[in-house]
């Protein structure tokens, strides 16, 4: 009989059994469920609901069940719905009547919220570690390739020269924000809901704070109805993960383009690429394409949890069981994606020559040329026009700035002097930029030095 079978005549329809079973995925919570139950039992012992022997039998029984699950000998069955019922039923099977006392003052509603929060404290900790490893790889690579330069793009058109390290550090700061966001999200998760019961708390003298301390939570939930109906912490977790994935996906997209035969600024580690079943020469960036593809599904996970929640009346409704698959999918995906990107950044090889060539091929110093005239008193809009005409003229004649003589330049503005050639040299540009956070060698060095400290503290 089902643990809740008392008021029912006859059996549950097998279709409903299959439809409502969550054991195939919520078994991922077994460790937290057992830990939570152990703390709950010890508290029940402390307040005298269980005697010493009962407490001990429950705690020992739960420990054995954990071992059975980990050894792969635990028997799962669809008719027991979820992980909570499986563990409780097995406990009763093992230790008899004492096991029937475990669920005193508790509901699966507060239990599942506890389990999910414990799962997240654990797994988001791993996500944070993955982020830290990626941050370190980015700073290390930036430092190693400190002197490499590349075109910076807007609209995918060459825009202005930047240090390659500045480009890497741009992603660094995205992922650093992700890490700080994760830390905040973890604080919101750190709330202990047990003692809220099904929705209204309990007349049993439960010591909630004892359970909180024993399980290492920062705070107690304040309202029993909120505690069992709230999944904001799941929304937050998936949101935080979706942002990380979105950043990983953008970086993937860049690296796919940069590693294309046409651009070929970088080559990706072999270990993260695959070949073609037909074309022997191919080396495809599958790992990065999969990060991009899986990001779509994680964004779908965020949509799922929002739409599960938006029509739910207070308090617990079984719809809430559907929170697990999106959450677990997001958590598992981001961990692998972070690992892959960490390996990719560490293992990537860059072709400095090609990057430099792309810089020198371009009209990117047009900005500095206009600023040269502006510093001599020409209003910027006018200087912009002069250099614009100059670029058009070069394009018509198939020339670059380097091919021009000072005489030709003076034809566009008498204010041009020979020193303009030094001003539009990429290396000079990268030394001359003055603003905080600018794409200059000096600023990127400052960033690297500061962030090495952040990464190692």
Q: Which residues are annotated as catalytic?
A: 155, 276
414 phi, psi to nearest 5 deg: -65, -15
How far is 265 from 263, CA to CA, in rounded Å? 6
CB 3 within 8 A of CB 171: no
Counting contacts by CB under 6 A, is residue 82 touching ligand ARG?
yes
- Residue 196 binds ligand ARG, judged by CB under 6 A: no
Is omega for the bond preceding 252 within 30 degrees of 0, making it cis? Answer: no
Distance of CA 292 to the CA centre of its chain: 13
Q: How far apart are CB 68 and ligand ARG at their closest, in Å?
A: 20
Task: Give CA–CA dist 255/269, Å, rounded.
Answer: 12
- Strands annotated E in 217-280: 219-220, 266-267
Q: Which among 212-220, 235-243, 302-310, 318-326 is the span making contact with ligand ARG, rule CB under 6 A?
A: 318-326
Among 330, 342, 165, 202, smallest CA distance to 269 is for 342
> Could you give the CA distance from residue 232 to residue 184 in angstroms, rounded to a whole number?
13
Stretch that binds ligand ARG, among 106-114, 234-242, 307-315, 428-436 (CB under 6 A): 106-114
Q: What does the CA dihedral 89, 95, 96, 97 come to, rounded to 10 degrees?
A: -100
Tell me the C-alpha distance between 3 and 158, whole Å.
67
Question: Dihedral (C-alpha) 51, 52, 56, 58: value to the nearest 10 degrees?
Answer: 10
Residue 259 binds ligand ARG, judged by CB under 6 A: no
- Pick the stretch among 64-72, 315-323, 390-398, 438-446 that binds ligand ARG (CB under 6 A): 315-323
Decide: is 214 part of the binding site for ligand ARG (CB under 6 A). Answer: no
Q: Interface mask (CB under 6 A) for ligand ARG, residues 270-309, using x and -?
A: ----------------------------------------
Nearer to ligand ARG, 111 or 165 (CB): 111
| DSSP strands (E only) in 164-220 | 191-192, 219-220
Q: Which is nearer to ligand ARG, 199 or 256 (CB)?
A: 199
Q: Of 78 and 411, which has the nearer Cβ to ligand ARG? A: 78
Helix (H/G/I), strand (E/B), else coil: 153: strand
CB of 442 to ligand ARG, least distance (A): 55
For 221, residues 6+ apart whose C-beta sits below 8 A from its C-beta are 191, 192, 193, 196, 227, 230
Residue 82 beta carbon to ligand ARG: minimum distance, rounded to whole angstroms: 4
- Contact pick of 66, 90, 103, 108 for ligand ARG (by CB under 6 A): 108
**How far, in Å, CA of 406 to CA of 390, rounded?**
13
Of 318 and 381, which CB lies nearer to ligand ARG in the complex structure?
318
Which of 160, 229, 321, 440 binds ligand ARG (CB under 6 A)? It is 321
CA neighbours within 13 Å on the CB side: how many for 306? 9
User: Is 103 among the residues that bind ligand ARG (CB under 6 A)?
Assistant: no
**Residue 328 Cβ vs ligand ARG, minimum distance, rounded to whole Å:** 12
Decide: residue 301, CB within 10 A, 0-12 exposed, 13-18 middle, 19+ buried: buried
Q: Select from 105-113, 157-165, 204-212, 248-256 the region that touches ligand ARG (CB under 6 A).
A: 105-113
C-beta of 316 vs 372, nearer to ligand ARG: 316
Q: How many residues bind ligand ARG (CB under 6 A)?
A: 10
Give the nearest distance from C-beta 116 to ligand ARG in angstroms.
Answer: 8
Residues 14-33 that bind ligand ARG (CB under 6 A): 22, 26
Q: Which is nearer to ligand ARG, 136 or 324 (CB)?
A: 324
Interaction between residue 112 and ligand ARG (CB under 6 A): yes
**Are residues 45 and 52 in contact, defined by beta-carbon separation less than 8 angstroms?**
yes
Rounded-to-integer distance, Cα 432 and Cα 441, Å: 9
- Judged by beta carbon, residue 318 or residue 353, the one nearer ligand ARG is 318
Minimum distance from residue 213 beta carbon to ligand ARG (Å): 25
CB of 198 to ligand ARG, least distance (A): 7
Q: Which residues bind ligand ARG (CB under 6 A)?
A: 22, 26, 82, 108-109, 112, 316, 318, 320-321
């Amino acid at each position: 009989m089902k643990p809740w079978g008392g008021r029912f005549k006859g059996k549950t329809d097998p279709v409903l059994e299959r439809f409502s079973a969550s054991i195939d995925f919520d078994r991922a919570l077994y460790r937290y469920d057992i830990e939570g139950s152990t703390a709950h039992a010890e508290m029940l012992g402390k307040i005298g609901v269980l005697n010493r022997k009962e407490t001990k039998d429950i705690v020992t029984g739960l420990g054995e069940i954990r071992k059975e699950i980990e050894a792969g000998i635990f028997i799962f069955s669809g008719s027991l719905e979820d992980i909570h019922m499986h563990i409780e039923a097995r406990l009763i099977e093992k230790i008899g009547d004492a096991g029937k006392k475990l669920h005193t003052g508790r509901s699966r509603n507060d239990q599942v919220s506890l389990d999910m929060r414990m799962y997240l404290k654990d797994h988001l900790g791993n996500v944070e570690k993955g982020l830290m490893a990626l941050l370190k790889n980015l700073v290390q690579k930036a430092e190693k390739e400190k002197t490499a330069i590349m075109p910076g793009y807007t609209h995918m058109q060459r825009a202005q020269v930047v240090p390659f390290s500045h480009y890497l550090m741009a992603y660094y700061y995205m992922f650093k924000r992700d890490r700080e966001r994760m830390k905040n999200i973890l604080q919101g998760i750190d709330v202990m809901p047990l003692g809220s019961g099904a929705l209204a708390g309990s007349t049993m003298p439960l010591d909630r704070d004892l359970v909180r301390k024993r399980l290492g939570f920062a705070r107690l939930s304040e309202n029993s109805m909120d505690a069992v109906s709230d999944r904001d912490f799941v929304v937050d977790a998936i949101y935080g993960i979706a942002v990380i994935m979105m950043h990983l996906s953008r970086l993937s997209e860049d690296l796919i383009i940069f590693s294309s035969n046409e651009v070929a600024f970088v080559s990706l580690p072999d270990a993260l690429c695959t070949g073609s079943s037909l074309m022997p020469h191919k080396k495809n960036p599958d790992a990065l394409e999969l990060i991009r593809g899986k990001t779509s599904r994680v964004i779908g996970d965020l949509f799922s949890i929002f739409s599960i929640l938006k029509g739910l009346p207070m308090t617990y409704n079984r719809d809430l069981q559907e929170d697990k698959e999106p959450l677990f999918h997001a958590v598992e995906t981001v961990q692998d994606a972070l690992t892959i990107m960490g390996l990719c950044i560490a293992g990537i090889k860059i072709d400095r020559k090609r990057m430099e060539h792309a810089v020198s091929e371009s009209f990117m110093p047009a900005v500095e040329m206009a600023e040269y005239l502006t510093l001599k008193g020409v209003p910027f809009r006018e200087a912009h026009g002069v250099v614009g005409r100059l670029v058009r003229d070069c394009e018509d004649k198939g020339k670059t700035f380097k091919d021009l003589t000072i005489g030709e330049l003076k034809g566009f503005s008498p204010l041009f002097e020979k020193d303009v050639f030094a001003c539009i040299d990429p290396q000079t540009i990268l030394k001359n930029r003055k603003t905080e956070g600018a794409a200059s060698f000096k600023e990127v060095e400052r960033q690297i030095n500061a962030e090495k400290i952040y990464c190692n503290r």
